[in-house]
Amino acid sequence: MTREEAVKKLVTAGRLSVAHVEDFYDSIIPKPVVPQFVADWYEEHKDEFYLNLHRVVRDFFEHLNDYYFNENPIDYDFACWYYNTKNAIQILVNMHQFGYEVEEEKRYTVRIRNLDDEETYLNYDRFRETWVFYSREDTDRFRTTHTTKQLEDGCFGWVFDCEGFEVIEVE
């Protein structure tokens, strides 16, 4: 029974409001929290979920090398997650039955050490789609906090290992 079906049944049988039943349901049946790439895989395959899940289970080990050499990073990340997660099948089924939440990725500011605070923060210019050193202020134009993936995609993954840069995790 899906979440929606359970909510409808409880609303009818218990003569409760939908909001109360949804809150109650969510409090006793927690949604799985998964990385974004797992949510992306699920969204791509949810219409024929059980067929696609069967394919993953059946074909995974036979085509493991295809995942490793595939140019699609979602498939590679998903394959690694599936292989390394003890209860991956249960998590995927729970996502389908109860919904899911995407785990928050850690975000970081990156700053050049030992320089005056002004214009030493690594920013992504959303308008020009380039990286610049600018202020700490996050604006519509400039993003000042970045995920590890964003930094790696921008060829800045090395800042985590460089003593000349200060990388601080932010909320």
Residues found in the chain: 171
**Tens of pLDDT along 5-55?**
888 888 888 888 888 888 888 888 888 999 988 999 899 999 999 998 888
**Tens of pLDDT along 60-84?**
666 655 655 555 544 777 888 888 8
Give percent of the chain with pLDDT exceeding 70: 91
Cα dihedral: 136, 142, 147, 151 (round 10): -100
Structure tokens of 94? Answer: 């729970």
Whether the CA torsion 57, 61, 63, 67 is positive or negative: it is positive
pLDDT at 130: 94
CA end-to-end distance (rounded Å), the chain: 36
Contact present, 39 and 100 (Cβ < 8 Å): yes
Most distant CA pair in the chain, distance:
66
Going by C-alpha positions, the residue among 97, 94, 149, 151 that lies closest to residue 121 is: 151
CA gap 167, 144 in Å, rounded: 12
CA gap 40, 19 in Å, rounded: 28
Bigger pLDDT: 72 vs 92 = 92
pLDDT at 91: 94
